[in-house]
A and B are shown apart, each in its own frame.
Chain A
Amino acid sequence: MLSANELESGYGRARVLFGVSLDVGPGQLVCVMGRNGVGKTTLLNTIMGVLPATSGAVTFDGRDVTRLPTHERARLGMGYVPQGHQCFPQLSVLGNLLVTMEAARTGKESVDSALDLFPGLKPLLKRRAGHLSGGQQQQLAIARVLVTRPRLLILDEPTEGIQPSIILEIEEAIERLHASGLAVLLVEQYLDIAVRLADRFVILDAGQVVRTGDAGDLHGEDVHRLLAV
């Protein structure tokens, strides 16, 4: 479904990724792990085209998207929820969902089904998104991307800085989406969440893949060493 092949990128002269490869199969949930600053967000940004790849290739559904602008990747079905529960702060919650629905040319029912996954958003539809709590904004951020009817969901630390009650809801939502057959690429700091949700995992260190495997292999001394801060 998605495959990154020997991706390299960075900011100006500072290289961050040194040839990262990974694959997400149809319906698979792949978890990218690693300490702060090893290039997880950079990897997602490069996959999404927010940051240009200096070499390597990104293939989505058999199509080379490496040179495609971000918005066209989104329209192909790559649903990206960036770090930090981002939204359009001056638009209402409903406005956030509608503007995305219109850009993706999906119908009203996509908004309804996204709200069914996060019923907590329903009473907030008229509120300004910028006035929501971080957890509510994160739910909105995921709901907003679901409105585009993505075939691959890319989540960057969806539980970071969120109150525990909502972490649980978000986790359950991801689990349900995955169970319904949606492929997910997830960056996650919490080892327990990764073990619970992931089919496969990739551990990054200093811009390179240092371990990959099935979720069951996600234990042992070296794993903890690679993930410890």
Chain B
Amino acid sequence: MTAVVNQLPIGLSIAAVLLLVALGLTVTFGQMGVINMAHGEFIMAGAYTAFLLGDLLLALPAAFVVAGLMGLALERGAIRHFYGRPLDTLLLTWGVSLVLQQLARDLFGAPNVQVPAPSWLSGGIGILPYNRLFIMALAVAGVAGIWLYLTRTRLGRRTQAVVQNRRLAATSGIDPGRVDMLTFFIGSGLAGLAGVALTLIGPVGPALGTYYIVDAFLVVVAGGLGQLRGAVLAAVGLGLLNSYAEFWSDASLAKVLVFAAVIGFLQVRPQGLVALRSRALT
């Protein structure tokens, strides 16, 4: 019983990281239909930003901007020429992902680096270490921020309009290309935040993103494409499942179990946890 309880903060913080990664994907994959395999490398970029700055609170906005700008460059430089061609986008961004990983190896070396956690995050309340609490708080803030952005701001409303009916948005005087840029900036920036969060619970390496990208896609698909509520539920579910399965068996078997669970779930409910009637991924 104590083992179950002790594992809980680990599972929840993994869920929180997954949620931050998946939030970005919910925006770019779920809403824009772009399969961005380089999203994981934006996590890595965020983590290295924290490594370079060495200050957690400074690193958060910096990582958001760094990862966001990388996403913006990718969207403007490449992805926008491939809208509506998901397979080409997949290959393209996978290539970019490999290039970025090699770039990180050249810049920072292949071995992992450690980012020292700030002293004010050592300790904890009972079984809840402060660093994992901080990650959870960051994820909650991320979800709240995205929700407020989409529903309470002019730009968010404009983003929704473009996502829901791109052509109608253009005939209404909205420039869809500019909205795409902004959406990609925000979605990628969130991956940067996830990267900073990861420095609190482990070392940083060039392949950091690859450990999370597949799980994050699973979260988006299982949650229902483009659905915030679905992404939250799926991230918590998958994060807990993952950490408990890992605890009782081992890392490889845990992955098998998680995949099996998601595949089984999608057989029963192919539209994901939360379904949107009027939007399909084409």
Interface set of A (CB-CB < 8 Å, partner B): 48, 50, 69-71, 74-75, 80, 82, 86-91, 95, 98-100, 102-104, 130, 144-145, 148
Contacts and interface: CB of A to CB of B under 8 A. Distances in A.
A94 to B, nearest CB: 10
Contact of B165 (A88, A103, A104, A145): A88
B230 to A, nearest CB: 14
Interface in B139-172: 154, 157-158, 160-161, 164-165, 167-172
B170 A50 contact: yes
B161 A71 contact: no
B172 A91 contact: no
B170 A130 contact: no
Taking chain B's interface residues, is the majority helix, strand, or loop, or is none over half, making it mixed? helix
B174 A86 contact: no
Nearest to A102: B154
Contacts of B176: 71
Interface of B: 154, 157-158, 160-161, 164-165, 167-176, 276-279
Contact of A99 (B161, B276, B277): B161
B167 A148 contact: no
A71 B157 contact: no
A71 B165 contact: no
A148 B173 contact: yes
Contact of A88 (B164, B170, B277): B164
Is chain A's binding surface mostly helix, strand, loop or mixed?
helix
Nearest to A148: B173
Contacts of B164: 88-91
B173 A88 contact: no
A82 B158 CA distance: 19
Contact of B172 (A50, A74, A89, A95): A74
Given A90-B160, A95-B160, 18 more contacts: A69-B170, A71-B169, A74-B171, A86-B168, A87-B165, A88-B161, A88-B168, A90-B278, A91-B161, A99-B154, A99-B157, A100-B172, A100-B173, A102-B154, A102-B157, A104-B172, A148-B172, A148-B173
Contacts of A80: 171
Contacts of B161: 88, 91, 99
A91 B160 contact: yes
A102 to B, nearest CB: 5
Contact of B173 (A86, A91, A103): A103
A187 B167 CA distance: 19
A80 B158 CA distance: 18
B170 A86 contact: no
Closest 6 CB pairs of A and B: A74-B173, A70-B170, A103-B173, A80-B171, A103-B174, A89-B278
A73 to B, nearest CB: 8
A145 B174 CA distance: 12
A100 B277 CA distance: 23
Contacts of B168: 82, 86-88
A48 B171 contact: yes
A80 B168 CA distance: 9
Contacts of A145: 172
13 contacts: A50-B171, A70-B171, A71-B170, A71-B173, A71-B175, A75-B173, A88-B161, A88-B168, A90-B164, A98-B157, A99-B157, A99-B160, A130-B278
A52 B277 CA distance: 31
Given A69-B175, A70-B170, A71-B174, A86 B165 contact: yes
Between B158, B161, B167, B175, the greatest number of chain A beta carbons within 10 A of the residue's beta carbon is seen for: B161
